[in-house]
Each structure stands twice: as structure tokens, then as C-alpha cells.
């Protein structure tokens, strides 16, 4: 009888659309796999073999799929996020790194580091449908919330490309700091932030005006940026810290010590926690975004990068 009641309650909750706990889909480059972590329990749920030194990852907006880039095998892997299974692979060539998925699931954008291009992939047909020329060594990718614009951090051109996703044409090039790597767009689609590996700072971009409007000094070798609580959070690879700054004033707030060589970073949907992948510690650090302290550490695979939108909401 208790089993039936529990099943009925579960069904009712599902019917009312109660959200499940968020999960982290963490690419582990050195162990050639991906770890799925339940962020409510701080427990790894599954390990999925990927191959090809996986680096970039993007979970679809609806949470159904995860897309992973593997530079060594020149491939994009498609994962059924609920079943924890690989359901397809697309050879994209070159050096696939950053990845972003359209909200409607129709296309996935893959940055080809060696070809100075963005590959547009149809994940259902599992084929490339277009290529878009950008600057040298494109790395991080980010879409505006309305899906109309795609931003590419072109590392070796010290610039960000803005692409019209309808026409698949580059409409602007914005000069930023030295060697931009990760790029993040805010929830309003007004500003973007690049972590500039070479100049140890973050560029603030006004997307509509198509220009850089500010710089924030951070730690050594910044990798990526997350946004929460009116603050920017930046992984400083060489310092083993996360730099925090105020989004309104751009003033620095604090440096938080995390694991060794932090790379991927993301904010939870409720903006209460920041999740950081530490490459050399093989861990995730969980930061309280309000109190600005580390509150948990979770073991994952070997060489976690989690470069991209790696949280399943």
C-alpha cells in the first residue's frame, strides 16, 4: 500500500511540474568521460564514457540532452540526459571546443578552434548544416536569451564575434582584452563578459552598442565567468581562486580559494550557489553566492573542465 501511495505522490508531483534537483554534467578530459552529479545530495550519479578528451559541454534548455565536444576525436557527442546514455556522435573536424545549444533544440553551435569557424550542427540529423567564419581560435560560445545572437570569444584575435543566428552571418567584431576564452551573456541579453586569459581581466561588453564598456582586474589566467546575486564570479586558473566583482560598479569584492586550477563555472538556477570545476583537484567546489564561502566539495573524474553551460535544470 505504501508503495502505491508513494508512486501516486510521485506521479502527482510530476504532473504539477515540480522540478527535480539540478545536476552538473562535468566533462573530465583526462579520464575521457563525463560525471553526472546531483547537486542536492552532492553525490555523483553516473559516469558516461565519451572519449577524445572531452572539454566543452552544453545542456539543452529543456534538460533533455547534453552536447559534449571532444577536441582529440574531432567530434560532438549527443547524450540523452535522463537516460545517461550516448545517443549519437557527429564528426565536426578541426578542434571542437566551445558549444552552445539553441533553446528550441534545432541546432547546436560548435567552435572549431583550428578552422576559425563555428559549425552549425543539426543534432537530430547528426550532421553539419552550415559553417560561420569568425576570428582566430574561437573558444567560448554564448547565446542571447532570445536566441537571436551568438557570441564567440575568438582567443587569438583578442576579440568577440557577434553572429546573427537567423542569417548565420558575423555582424560585428568587438575588441576586448588579451586572449578571451570564456564568454557569458547576462539574463537580459544586454551585457556579455569575457575572461581574458592573457591580460588577467574581464571585459564587459554592451551587446546592443557592440563595444567594450569596461574592464575588471581579476586573478591569473581567468577562464570563465558566472553571474549571480548582482555579482560576477571568475575562475582564476593559476591562483586557485574565484574572483568576485560587483556587476553595477565593476568593483572587486573578494577572492575565494577553491581547488587547484579552477576552470568551468556556473550559477544554479536560484542564484544561490556557484559550481566550480577544479582541473587538478578533480573536484567541484560549491560556493554560497550570498555569503561568498565554499560550502562543499565533490569528487568527480580526472581533469574536470566543464567548459560551458554544464548544469541541468
* Confidence tier at 21 by pLDDT (50, 70, 90): confident
The whole-number pLDDT of residue 256 equals 98
pLDDT value at 264 more than 50: yes
Residue scoring higher pLDDT (206 or 19): 206
Give me the domain span that covers residue 69.
23-312
The whole-number pLDDT of residue 19 equals 44
* Confidence tier at 5 by pLDDT (50, 70, 90): very low
> pTM (2 decimals)?
0.93
Mean pLDDT over residues 86-93, rounded?
96
Q: Render pLDDT for 151-190 as a digit per residue (tens, 0 to 9).
A: 999 999 999 999 999 999 999 999 999 999 999 999 999 9
Cell of 137: 581560435
Residue 168 forms part of a structural domain: yes
The whole-number pLDDT of residue 6 equals 37
* Confidence tier at 20 by pLDDT (50, 70, 90): low
pLDDT value at 11 more than 80: no
Q: Render pLDDT for 282-308 as a digit per residue (tens, 0 to 9).
A: 999 999 999 999 999 999 999 999 999
Residue 12 forms part of a structural domain: no
Residue 82 forms part of a structural domain: yes
* Count of domains observed in the chain: 1
Residue 110 forms part of a structural domain: yes
Q: What percent of the chain has pLDDT over 70?
A: 94
pLDDT value at 16 more than 60: no
Q: Kindly write down the DSSP assignment for every residue of the chain, as one continuous string.
A: -HHHHHHHHHHHHHHTTPPPPPEEEEEETTTTEEEEEETTTTEEEEEEE--S---EEEE-TTSSEEEEEETTTTEEEEEETTTTEEEEEEE--S-EEEEEE-TTSS-EEEEETTTTEEEEEETTTTEEEEEEE-SSSEEEEEE-TTSSEEEEEEGGGTEEEEEETTTTEEEEEEE-SSSEEEEEE-TTSSEEEEEETTTTEEEEEETTTTEEEEEEE-SSSEEEEEEETTEEEEEETTTTEEEEEETTT--EEEEEE-SSSEEEEEE-TTSSEEEEEETTTTEEEEEETTTTEEEEEEE-SSSB--EEE-EE-
| CATH code for the domain of 35 | 2.130.10.10
Q: Render pLDDT for 200-243 as a digit per residue (tens, 0 to 9).
A: 999 999 999 999 999 999 999 999 999 999 999 999 999 999 99
Residue 73 forms part of a structural domain: yes
pLDDT value at 4 more than 80: no
pLDDT, mean over the chain: 94
Residue 11 forms part of a structural domain: no
Residues 221 and 207: beta-carbon distance below 8 Å: no
Residue 215 forms part of a structural domain: yes
pLDDT value at 99 more than 90: yes
Using alpha carbons, select from 187, 184, 278 the residue that is nearest to residue 225. 184
Residue 4 forms part of a structural domain: no
Amino acid at each position: 500500500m505504501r508503495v502505491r501511495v508513494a508512486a501516486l505522490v510521485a506521479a502527482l508531483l510530476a504532473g504539477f511540474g515540480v522540478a527535480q534537483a539540478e545536476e552538473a554534467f562535468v566533462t573530465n578530459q583526462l579520464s575521457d568521460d563525463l560525471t553526472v552529479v546531483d547537486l542536492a545530495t552532492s553525490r555523483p550519479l553516473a559516469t558516461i564514457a565519451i572519449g577524445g578528451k572531452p572539454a566543452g559541454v552544453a545542456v539543452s534548455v529543456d534538460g533533455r540532452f547534453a552536447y559534449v565536444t571532444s577536441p582529440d576525436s574531432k567530434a560532438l557527442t549527443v547524450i540523452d540526459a535522463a537516460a545517461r546514455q550516448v545517443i549519437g556522435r557527429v564528426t565536426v573536424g578541426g578542434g571542437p571546443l566551445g558549444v552552445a545549444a539553441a533553446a528550441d533544440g534545432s541546432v547546436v553551435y560548435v567552435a572549431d578552434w583550428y578552422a576559425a569557424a563555428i559549425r552549425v550542427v543539426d543534432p537530430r540529423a547528426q550532421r553539419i548544416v552550415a559553417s560561420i567564419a569568425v576570428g582566430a581560435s574561437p573558444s567560448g560560445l554564448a547565446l542571447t536569451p532570445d536566441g537571436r545572437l551568438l557570441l564567440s570569444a575568438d582567443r587569438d584575435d583578442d576579440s568577440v564575434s557577434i553572429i546573427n543566428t537567423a542569417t548565420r552571418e558575423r555582424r560585428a567584431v568587438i575588441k576586448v582584452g588579451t586572449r578571451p576564452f570564456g564568454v557569458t551573456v547576462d539574463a537580459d541579453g544586454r551585457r556579455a563578459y569575457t575572461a581574458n586569459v592573457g591580460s588577467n581581466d574581464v571585459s564587459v561588453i554592451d551587446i546592443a552598442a557592440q563595444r567594450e564598456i569596461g574592464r575588471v582586474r581579476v586573478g591569473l589566467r581567468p577562464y570563465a565567468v558566472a553571474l549571480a546575486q548582482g555579482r560576477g564570479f571568475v575562475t582564476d586558473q593559476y591562483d586557485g581562486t574565484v574572483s568576485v566583482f560587483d556587476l553595477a560598479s565593476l568593483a572587486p569584492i573578494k577572492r575565494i580559494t577553491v581547488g587547484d586550477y579552477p576552470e568551468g563555472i556556473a550559477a544554479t538556477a536560484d542564484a544561490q550557489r556557484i559550481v566550480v570545476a577544479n582541473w587538478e583537484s578533480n573536484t567541484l567546489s560549491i560556493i554560497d553566492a550570498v555569503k561568498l564561502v565554499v560550502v562543499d566539495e565533490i569528487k568527480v573524474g580526472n581533469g574536470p573542465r566543464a567548459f560551458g553551460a554544464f548544469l541541468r535544470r
